[in-house]
Amino acid sequence: MTRLSDVALVVRSKNTSPFTYSLDIMFREPRDYQYFKSRKLIDAVLVARLYRLKPDQVLDVIYFDPAMAIKICLPRDISSGAPGDSDVYGAQQHAPLLLWEFNGNAGH
C-alpha cells in the first residue's frame, strides 16, 4: 500500500469561504499525477467516504493539469469563526486525505 503523502509534494487544506474549504493535492512527478487522473483515483465517492459525507456533499473534484494538482471543495460543518468552530482557517482538514492509502503503481 502507498500513502498519498508518498507521491504528493503538497497535501493541504484552506478556507475558500466562511462556508467551504478546499483540499489541495500537488504531485511531485507528472507520471503520478497522470496515474491518478487517468484512473480518477480521487473522486467524490472516495472523498465522501474519507470525510464521512454523502457523495453529493462533495462540491467539486477538479484535476488541474498546469499545476499537476487536484482541488477538492467541501462544505464546512460550522462557518469559519462561528461559536464551536475548531479550525478558523480550515488548515487542519487534510489529514484523512494525507493518510489515505491506495494500491497501484504511482511513484514506481
| Residues 1 and 103: beta-carbon distance below 8 Å | yes
Domains of the chain: 2-80+89-97 (3.30.70)
Residues 98 and 108: their CA atoms lie apart, in Å, by 19
pTM of the shown model: 0.90
Mean pLDDT rounded to a whole number for the chain: 92
**Residue 86 above 90 pLDDT?**
no
| Residues 28 and 8: beta-carbon distance below 8 Å | yes
Taking only the tens place, the pLDDT of each residue in 29-73 is 999 999 999 999 999 999 999 999 999 999 999 999 999 999 999
Dihedral over Cα of 77, 96, 93, 69: its sign? negative
